[in-house]
Amino acid sequence: MLRSIGERYGKTPAQAAINWLLRDPSVVAIVGAKRPDQIVQNAGAAGFKLTEEEARRIDEVTSNICLDYF
């Protein structure tokens, strides 16, 4: 699903996922990189906006995943 959403915007699945995280101001997304090209790749997550339907689909898929590690 992230692949098809990303392709609509000329983005990778990872860029679509990062963009999804960044849409919510209450979420802090810490994205790491080991190489300079990864920084450029991660920056590609900005500059486009998912539709409400796309965000809802990702929300549904991730709703059963526990992201609370504390």
Q: pLDDT by residue (tens digit) across 10-44?
A: 999 999 999 999 888 888 878 889 999 999 999 99
In whole angstroms, give the CA distance from residue 30 to residue 10: 23
Q: What is the pLDDT of residue 65?
A: 77
pLDDT at 69 over 60: no
**What phi and psi values does residue 19 have, to the nearest 5 degrees?**
-60, -40
Q: pLDDT by residue (tens digit) across 2-14?
A: 999 999 999 999 9
Listed by start position, the domains of the chain span 2-60
- How many Cβ atoms sit within 10 Å of the Cβ of residue 54? 21
